[in-house]
């Protein structure tokens, strides 16, 4: 068995879902989502057993492009994240009644296909194709099933599309240039290239444009809040839970090892940009009145810290970043699902119109609280492990970075708890808040379970990713 | 050569059918005939040969492009079935003109002599003038035909003047002799002037900036099927011919001429895209988008020695997407006065299949993977960076981003606006052409080597 099977399952799933018709679509999609999860767990087992699960075949002769999929610990961790979140996202949409459901669920699976491909591809062009391909489904998901005024949504989504496309096209130029030098798009050939410092700087910047827009890093974040707000819940979860991890993953996999000189030379600038994102995101989040927008800005702050962690170029920084990527994926999906649960009952996302929910639904309140605490990085949650490791690595570079980055915990606790207070506490709301349904509860419990399990026992993931990160680090340090 | 004879025979046959009043059989017979011609053409692929004292040279280049032209004509002929259903009396004329146009196109890519080249251009152009004004009752169509004729014949005159200067300098019409002479001796000044005049004429035909002014008006005014023909077949023919011309006559373009091409290429992309952003008529949008694609195709001229495969790939990808897009336009605007974007409102709900096809073809033109338009741009960029024009590639990339703006305007109109009319008709021929064209486009994207390596 090799990794291409996983992609085939997801792609076939996308078509099968579309053909299944509106009534069955969600169930078929869930079935394929779960089989993809099963497949990636099986892949994990085989990988741990030392079997070769990569796939390589020639695709285009001239220029030399291979259909190369390669899985190391890092890729498998990201695959597990993708395939674990996809069924959760699909399952979380069961409570919504989407028009044209077959297209909706089919696009979700197609998006999972493209994202899984991005995490697996080890040929630059194949990687680029998957990277771009993931843009089309999310564009339609956000555009057609989103909420709010159509004109405004259209503007936000088109801006997002053009913005990300613009960034990635510059990455394409970088790849074509690299191809001219290496005669191949294969990752290992690109790692071997011996580029001058100027060349590396340009390539680093071209990659940076693509990734900074996707992640997003300040000052390329302006598309984010609007799109998160306007997209349907599932779309927001896909974007924040998995898609932005594509950018962070690519920094580690492609950008840093291909242009290490530039990464070292300008390290402080890029760490600084990440940390600026932390502070900016936290401060703007303080003032948000819309629940989804608040979560969007808090997400901006968290990924800023992750990006800063990757640019430290230390094993702790990379490891912390990857751990935090996975933790953030689960927490943010959970939080956006909370926003959706409230919206299903109150038809609003404005924080001031909420309040007094706890007394009506204590179960929901405690699950929400657990997610809020995880988001602010309480010890014993998964996020604490990641955040702490990243902050530690930042302190190794410069204590100020760690101190400023650490404000994420203080400010984060402040705005998240304040939000919790306004949304949940206070006098009992006059509007009735129906208790969470079994389906919603299962989704939330699953997410919380994952967060606390790995919060207390992160070793399996650390063991999985560390060897591949060390390998990448040797490529980064090959020239001095 | 046999291909050309067969095509002309087929055209004459179409006219005969009218005499015997077998109108119903015209399209099926022409389709079968064209398929046979395609087979004949493919059989010539591996046997390059020169005919009539090098008047015609059948090479891999010419047969590969001829095959593309024949396939495009095939699509256009099938689309004619629906398009001319109200004018059964003129059907044979329109079909025969298209077939003769194809003959001109094939002659243009297989010329071995400048006289043949000019003959080919004129056959193609005159057929196009007629087709542009073929909707006799419509003022717009008449205007389009007249504009195209005036401007087009002027361009033909310039080409002819260029050919004369080349003859004056070299004493021969034979391109092989010219190319040998151009390498050996010191060149008289008339030769480069001649080349430039011929190139200007061809720039006009492919609608490159600053010779593009005719395109939007003519595209808008002509009957939609003719617009489809101009923006796919005619453009592809012209760029292939220009490529061949520059390739055979002087393989190494002088640096100053390359600079001219770089500037024209940049200008075409930028002007075409920026003008397209403001249009509301879909045919005009596609006219300007065609201008910008002409700019992209011109990039192949910078490395004529090895870019033939890339050009074939780019033109195939572009033309197939164009055919798919135009078949949807033919369906949507069948009963409308104009082709404004408002007519496309709500197509995603009333006819999801055609909306998806139009979306796919626009995404292909915008260069989004996995459609072949993406690979076309990739190979082009790769080649151009190899030739050392990284600035041109960056301009091209910026233009690709701009182009998303207007392609998505149409996609948004189809999916986010409410439908303003019922669409119930299901014309089978339009469906067939649209589906086949877009499937071919995607197949080309998945297996690019089959086309790309043909001319390697």
Chain B hits for A128, CB-CB cut-off 8 Å, are 369
Question: A253-279, pLDDT tens digit by residue?
Answer: 999 999 999 988 899 999 999 999 999
Tokens for A111, please give them.
């998006």
| For range A50-75, the mean pLDDT | 88
Residue contact A132–B369, C-beta within 8 A: yes
Q: Rounded to an integer, what distance in angstroms lies between the CA atom of residue A72 and that of residue B447?
A: 28
Q: Is the CB of residue A322 less than 8 Å from the CB of residue A465?
A: yes
Question: B94-115, pLDDT tens digit by residue?
Answer: 999 999 999 999 999 999 999 9
pLDDT of residue B87: 82
Task: Find the range with the poorest average confidence among A33-37, A248-252, B134-138, B252-256.
Answer: B252-256
DSSP SS3 for A121: strand
Find the distance separating the first CA and the last CA of chain B, reported in whole Å: 22
C-alpha A157, offset from chain centre: 18
Given B368, B412, B449, which is nearest A60 (Cβ)?
A: B449
Residues in Cβ contact with B191 at an 8 Å cutoff, skipping those fewer than 6 apart: B165, B166, B169, B170, B182
ipTM of the complex, rounded to two decimals: 0.89
- CA distances B67 to B4, B56, B61, B118, B451, Å, are 12, 16, 10, 21, 11
- Asked if the peptide bond before residue A128 counts as cis, ω within 30 degrees of 0, the response is no
Chain B hits for A166, CB-CB cut-off 8 Å, are 401
**Residue A180: exposure state from Cβ atoms within 10 A (0-12, 13-18, ≥19):** middle
Is the pLDDT score of B251 beyond 70? Answer: no
Residue pairs between chains A and B whose CB atoms are closer than 8 Å: 73
Q: In 3-state terms, chain A is what percent helix, strand and coil (to 5)? A: 80, 5, 20
> Considering only alpha carbons, which residue of chain A is nearest residue B405?
A162
Is the pLDDT score of B85 beyond 80? Answer: yes
DSSP SS3 for A77: helix
Chain A hits for B370, CB-CB cut-off 8 Å, are 129, 133
Distance from CA of B239 to the nearest CA of A (A): 23
| For range A25-48, the mean pLDDT | 92
**Residue B313: exposure state from Cβ atoms within 10 A (0-12, 13-18, ≥19):** buried
C-alpha A54, offset from chain centre: 23
- CA distances A320 to A282, A384, A462, Å, are 20, 10, 9
DSSP state of A88: H
Nearest alpha-carbon partner for B5 in B44, B37, B50: B37
Could you give the percent of chain A with pLDDT greater than 70?
Answer: 100
DSSP state of B343: G
Residue contact B381–A176, C-beta within 8 A: yes
Is the pLDDT score of A180 beyond 70? Answer: yes
User: Where along chain B do its domains lie?
Assistant: 254-456
Is the pLDDT score of B192 beyond 80? Answer: yes
Q: What is the mean pLDDT of chain A?
A: 90
- Residue B56 parent element (H or E): strand B56-58
Residues in chain B, overall count: 456
What is the reported pTM? Answer: 0.92
Tokens for A232, please give them.
């349907």
Nearest alpha-carbon partner for B310 in B361, B382, B235, B369: B382
pLDDT of residue B456: 74
Residue contact A162–B397, C-beta within 8 A: no
C-alpha A1, offset from chain centre: 27
Distance from CA of B382 to the nearest CA of A (A): 6
DSSP SS3 for A288: coil
Angle separating helix axes A150-182 and A197-214, nearest 10 degrees: 160
Distance from CA of A386 to the nearest CA of B (A): 35
B292 φ/ψ angles, rounded to the nearest 5 degrees: -70, -35
Question: A376-426, pLDDT tens digit by residue?
Answer: 888 889 999 999 999 999 998 888 988 888 888 888 899 999 999 988 888
Chain B interface disruption, residue of A18, A19, A62, most B CBs within 10 A: A62
CA dihedral A198, A200, A202, A204 (to 10 degrees): -150
More reliable by pLDDT, B421 or A342: A342
Tokens for B175, please give them.
């391109």
Within a 10 A sphere around the Cβ of B382, how many other Cβ atoms? 20
Nearest alpha-carbon partner for A261 in A310, A313, A218: A313
Chain A interface disruption, residue of B347, B378, B386, most A CBs within 10 A: B378
Q: Is the CB of residue A416 less than 8 Å from the CB of residue A375?
A: yes
- Which residues does B contribute to its contact with A (CB < 8 Å)? 309, 363, 368-370, 374, 378-379, 381-382, 385-386, 390, 393-394, 397, 400-401, 404-405, 408, 412, 415-416, 448-449, 452-453, 456
Question: B214-226, pLDDT tens digit by residue?
Answer: 999 999 999 999 9
Question: B339-380, pLDDT tens digit by residue?
Answer: 888 888 888 888 889 999 999 999 999 998 889 999 999 999
pLDDT of residue A480: 59
- Residue A428 parent element (H or E): none
Q: Is the CB of residue A110 less than 8 Å from the CB of residue A76?
A: no
Q: What is the mean pLDDT of chain B?
A: 90
| For range B296-325, the mean pLDDT | 92
Residue contact A169–B370, C-beta within 8 A: no
- Residue A67 parent element (H or E): strand A65-69
Question: A337-361, pLDDT tens digit by residue?
Answer: 999 998 888 888 888 888 888 888 8
Could you give the percent of chain B with pLDDT greater than 90?
Answer: 62
- Which residues does A contribute to its contact with B (CB < 8 Å)? 59-63, 125, 128-129, 132-133, 135-136, 140, 143-144, 150, 154, 158, 161-162, 165-166, 169-170, 172-173, 176-177, 179-180
Q: Is the CB of residue B175 less than 8 Å from the CB of residue B198?
A: no
Residue contact A129–B416, C-beta within 8 A: no
- Residue A281 parent element (H or E): helix A267-286
pLDDT of residue B147: 93
Within a 10 A sphere around the Cβ of A100, how many other Cβ atoms? 15
């Amino acid at each position: 068995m090799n990794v291409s099977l996983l992609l085939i399952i997801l792609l076939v799933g996308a078509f099968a879902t579309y053909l299944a018709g509106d009534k069955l679509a969600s169930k078929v999609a869930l079935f394929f989502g779960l089989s993809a999860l099963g497949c990636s767990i099986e892949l994990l087992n085989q990988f741990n057993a030392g079997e070769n699960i990569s796939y390589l075949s020639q695709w285009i002769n001239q220029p030399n492009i291979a259909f190369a999929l390669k899985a190391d610990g890092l890729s498998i961790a990201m695959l597990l994240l993708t395939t674990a979140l996809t069924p959760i996202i699909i399952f979380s949409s069961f409570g919504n009644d989407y028009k044209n459901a077959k297209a909706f669920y089919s696009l979700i699976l197609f998006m999972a296909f493209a994202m899984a491909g991005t995490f697996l591809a080890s040929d630059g062009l194949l990687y680029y194709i998957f990277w771009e391909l993931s843009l089309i489904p999310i564009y339609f998901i956000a555009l057609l099933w989103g909420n709010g005024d159509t004109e405004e949504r259209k503007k936000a989504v088109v801006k997002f599309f053009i913005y990300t496309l613009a960034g990635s096209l510059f990455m394409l130029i970088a790849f074509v240039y690299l191809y001219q030098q290496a005669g191949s798009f294969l990752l290992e050939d690109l790692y071997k290239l011996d580029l001058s410092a100027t060349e590396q700087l340009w390539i680093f910047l071209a990659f940076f444009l693509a990734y900074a827009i996707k992640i997003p890093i300040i000052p390329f974040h302006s598309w984010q809040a609007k799109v998160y707000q306007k997209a349907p819940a599932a779309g927001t979860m896909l974007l924040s839970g998995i898609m932005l991890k594509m950018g962070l993953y690519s920094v580690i996999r492609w950008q840093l090892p291909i242009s290490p000189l530039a990464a070292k030379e300008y390290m402080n600038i890029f760490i600084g940009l990440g940390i600026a994102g932390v502070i900016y995101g936290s401060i703007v989040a303080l003032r948000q009145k819309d629940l989804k927008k608040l979560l969007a800005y808090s997400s901006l702050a968290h990924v800023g810290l992750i990006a800063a962690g990757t640019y430290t170029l230390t094993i702790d920084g990379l490891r912390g970043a990857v751990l935090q990527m996975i933790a953030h994926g689960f927490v943010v999906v959970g939080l956006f699902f909370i926003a959706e649960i409230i919206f299903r009952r109150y038809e609003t996302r404005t924080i001031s119109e909420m309040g007094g929910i706890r007394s009506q639904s204590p179960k929901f309140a405690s699950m929400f609280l657990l997610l809020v605490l995880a988001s602010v990085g309480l010890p014993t949650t998964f996020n604490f492990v990641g955040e702490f490791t990243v902050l530690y690595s930042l302190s190794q570079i410069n204590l100020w970075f760690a101190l400023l980055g650490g404000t994420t915990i203080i400010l984060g606790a402040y705005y998240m708890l304040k939000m919790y207070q306004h949304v949940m506490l206070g006098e009992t709301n006059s509007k009735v808040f129906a208790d969470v349904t079994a389906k919603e509860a299962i989704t939330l419990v699953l997410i919380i379970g994952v967060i606390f399990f790995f919060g207390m026992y992160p070793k399996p993931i650390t063991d999985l990713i560390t060897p591949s990160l060390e390998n990448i680090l040797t490529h980064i340090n090959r020239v001095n | 050569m046999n291909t050309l004879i067969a095509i002309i025979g087929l055209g004459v046959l179409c006219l005969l059918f009218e005499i015997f009043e077998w109108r119903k059989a015209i399209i099926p017979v022409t389709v079968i005939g064209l398929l046979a011609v395609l087979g004949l053409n493919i059989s010539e692929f591996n046997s390059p040969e020169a005919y009539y004292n090098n008047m015609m040279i059948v090479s891999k280049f010419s047969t590969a492009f001829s095959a593309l032209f024949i396939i495009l004509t095939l699509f256009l002929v099938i689309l004619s079935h629906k398009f001319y259903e109200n004018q059964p009396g003129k059907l044979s004329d329109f079909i025969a003109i298209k077939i003769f146009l194809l003959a001109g196109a094939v002659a243009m890519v297989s010329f071995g002599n400048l006289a043949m080249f000019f003959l080919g251009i004129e056959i193609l152009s005159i057929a196009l003038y007629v087709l542009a004004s073929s909707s006799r009752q419509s003022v717009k169509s008449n205007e389009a035909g007249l504009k195209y004729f005036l401007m087009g014949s002027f361009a033909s005159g310039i080409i002819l003047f260029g050919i004369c200067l080349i003859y004056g300098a070299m004493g021969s019409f034979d391109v092989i002799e010219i190319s040998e002479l151009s390498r050996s001796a010191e060149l008289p000044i008339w030769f480069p002037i001649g080349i430039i005049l011929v190139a200007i004429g061809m720039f006009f035909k492919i609608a490159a900036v600053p010779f593009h002014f005719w395109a939007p008006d003519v595209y808008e005014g002509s009957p939609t099927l003719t617009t489809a023909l101009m923006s796919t077949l005619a453009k592809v023919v012209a760029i292939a011919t220009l490529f061949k011309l520059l390739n055979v006559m002087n393989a190494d373009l002088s640096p100053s001429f390359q600079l001219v091409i770089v500037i024209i290429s940049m200008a075409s992309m930028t002007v075409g895209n920026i003008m397209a952003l403001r249009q509301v008529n879909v045919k005009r949008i596609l006219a300007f988008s065609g201008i910008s694609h002409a700019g992209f195709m011109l990039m192949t001229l910078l490395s004529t020695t090895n870019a033939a495969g890339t050009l074939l790939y780019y033109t195939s990808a572009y033309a197939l997407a164009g055919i798919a897009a135009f078949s949807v336009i033919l369906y949507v605007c069948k009963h409308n006065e104009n082709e404004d974007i408002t007519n496309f409102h709500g197509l995603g709900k009333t006819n999801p299949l055609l909306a998806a096809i139009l979306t796919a073809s626009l995404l292909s033109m915008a260069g989004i993977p996995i459609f072949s338009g993406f690979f076309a741009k990739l190979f082009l960029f790769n080649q151009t960076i190899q030739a050392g024009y990284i600035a041109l590639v960056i301009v091209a990339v910026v233009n690709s981003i701009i182009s998303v703006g207007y392609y998505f305007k149409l996609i948004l109109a189809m999916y986010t606006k409410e439908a303003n009319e019922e669409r119930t008709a299901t014309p089978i021929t339009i469906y067939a052409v649209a589906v086949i064209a877009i499937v071919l486009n995607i197949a080309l994207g998945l297996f690019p080597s089959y086309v790309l390596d043909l001319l390697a």
